[in-house]
């Protein structure tokens, strides 16, 4: 069963809505229809109720129109950045579990099968590129930068994870209700994970193969990406050092 634009969405208190798939997007008109179609197939096959929500960052192409035609619920974000998109999307989604993924088809929808298989036994599931069995098809420079940043975070903050910058995740709703999000860029991914870890939520990494985007150019600016990570590392290090409980 799926929820689309042709019928009412269940209220937040409706226990029948099992999964929300949250997709931040910007100028992904060439990819979004195919992605939504594949996500629907996977979720329909699992015979669970779901909604697909696209958070549009003000696209200049036909992303919004194509997403609606494919059966997704769409809204244009009002808060800036990737972190703003996730925060607004978390507030608007209604499922007991929320899956986040990229709009460019680099995250294979078939992996949602694996998430659904184990999501009742974990609070956060990370599709991990850097544990045994995981891999990533990306440029050598981008891969090197990603590995360095991930290892730096995990070493300095004493975190037992390998891929804390993966945006392909599944969250139990209770995590999102208890973690206060303040970051507005891609560093939101580290912030959520570190705060969830501090609150003793069960976090599981599962091997995942990251693919190149299907069409279009990446919107990630690597220098800005690295600077944001550095700021978050400093902020999280201070929080860890202070021994304060993160709310």
How far apart, in Å, do the first and last CA atoms of the chain sit?
Answer: 35
For the chain, count helices (H), then strands (E). 8, 9
Residue 94 structure tokens: 């209604």
**Long-range pairs for 132-135 at CB < 8 Å and ≥24 separation?**
132/207, 133/207, 134/163, 134/207, 134/208, 134/209, 134/210, 135/209, 135/210
Quickly tell me which residue has 């099968």 as its tokens.
Answer: 113
Residue 215 structure tokens: 């069409």
pLDDT confidence of residue 117: 97
Q: Global pTM?
A: 0.85
Q: What is the rounded distance in angstroms from the CA atom of residue 224 to the CA atom of residue 228?
A: 6
Residues in the chain with pLDDT values less than 50: 1-13, 215, 243-247
Q: Please name every residue paired with 23 in a beta bridge, in sequence order, or none if there are none.
A: 54
Residue 26 structure tokens: 């910007």
pLDDT confidence of residue 242: 56
Whether 21 contacts 99, CB under 8 Å: yes
Domain boundaries, the chain: 19-242
pLDDT confidence of residue 214: 52
pLDDT confidence of residue 5: 38
pLDDT confidence of residue 13: 40
Specify the CATH architecture of the domain 19-242: Alpha-Beta Complex (3.90)
Q: What is the rounded distance in angstroms from the CA atom of residue 4 to the CA atom of residue 186?
A: 28
pLDDT confidence of residue 237: 75
Whether 206 contacts 114, CB under 8 Å: yes
């Amino acid at each position: 069963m799926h929820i689309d634009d042709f019928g009412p969405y269940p209220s937040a208190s409706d226990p029948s809505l099992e999964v929300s798939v949250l997709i931040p997007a910007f100028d992904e008109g060439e990819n979004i229809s195919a992605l939504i179609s594949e996500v629907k197939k996977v979720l329909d096959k699992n015979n669970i109720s779901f909604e697909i929500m696209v958070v549009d960052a003000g696209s200049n192409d036909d992303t919004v129109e194509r997403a609606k035609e494919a059966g997704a619920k769409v809204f244009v974000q009002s808060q800036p950045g990737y972190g703003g998109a996730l925060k607004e999307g978390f507030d608007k989604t209604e499922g007991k579990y929320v899956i986040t993924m990229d709009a460019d088809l680099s995250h294979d929808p078939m992996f949602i099968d694996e998430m659904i298989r184990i999501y009742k036994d974990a609070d956060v599931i990370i599709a991990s590129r850097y544990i045994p069995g995981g891999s990533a098809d990306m440029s050598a420079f981008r891969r090197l930068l990603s590995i360095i940043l991930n290892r730096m975070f995990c070493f300095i903050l004493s975190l037992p994870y390998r891929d804390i910058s993966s945006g392909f995740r599944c969250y139990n709703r209770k995590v999102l209700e208890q973690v206060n999000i303040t970051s507005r860029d891609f560093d939101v991914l580290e912030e959520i994970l570190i705060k969830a870890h501090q609150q003793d939520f069960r976090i599981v990494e599962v091997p995942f193969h990251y693919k190149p985007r299907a069409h279009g150019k990446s919107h990630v600016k690597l220098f800005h990406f690295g600077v944001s990570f550095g700021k978050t590392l400093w902020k999280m290090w201070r929080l860890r050092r202070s021994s304060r409980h993160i709310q």
